[in-house]
């Protein structure tokens, strides 16, 4: 049985796949871009941000990276555009605009 998601592809046989499609490791979504169906996009306004980290805690998809106690711009490969960060930001440091492609 192949356990690592990176080793599973469309050539993997039923005997080799994990039982019942169980995913036996965390954070396999890093391997996939799941943010491509967003209709609204959060916009990070860096100058207003106090790095209080509220948005980091509230983001349901862990799409706000943090480095050296500072939040960075959004991970748009995984952000679904739910707008929670925009709603909870106490400093209006996040805008929320229509996605344009």
Report the interface residues with another protein, using CB under 8 A.
10, 12-14, 17, 19-26, 28
Angle ∠(23,29,34) on CA atoms, nearest 5: 130
DSSP codes, 43-69: EE-GGG-----HHHHH-TT----EETT
9 versus 47: smaller Cβ distance to another protein: 9
* Smallest separation (angstroms) from another protein to the CB of 88: 27
Q: Is 94 helix (H, G, I), strand (E, B) or coil?
A: strand
* Smallest separation (angstroms) from another protein to the CB of 26: 4
* Smallest separation (angstroms) from another protein to the CB of 94: 29
14 versus 37: smaller Cβ distance to another protein: 14
């Amino acid at each position: 049985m192949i356990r690592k998601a990176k080793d599973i592809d469309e050539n993997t046989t039923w005997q080799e796949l994990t039982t019942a499609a169980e995913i036996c490791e965390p954070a396999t979504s890093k391997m996939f871009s799941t943010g491509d169906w967003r209709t609204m996009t959060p916009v990070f306004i860096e100058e207003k941000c106090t790095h209080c980290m509220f948005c980091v805690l509230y983001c349901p998809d862990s799409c706000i990276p943090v480095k050296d106690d500072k939040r960075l711009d959004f991970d748009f490969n995984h952000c679904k555009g739910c707008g929670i960060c925009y709603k909870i930001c106490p400093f209006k440091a996040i805008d929320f605009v229509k996605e344009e492609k």
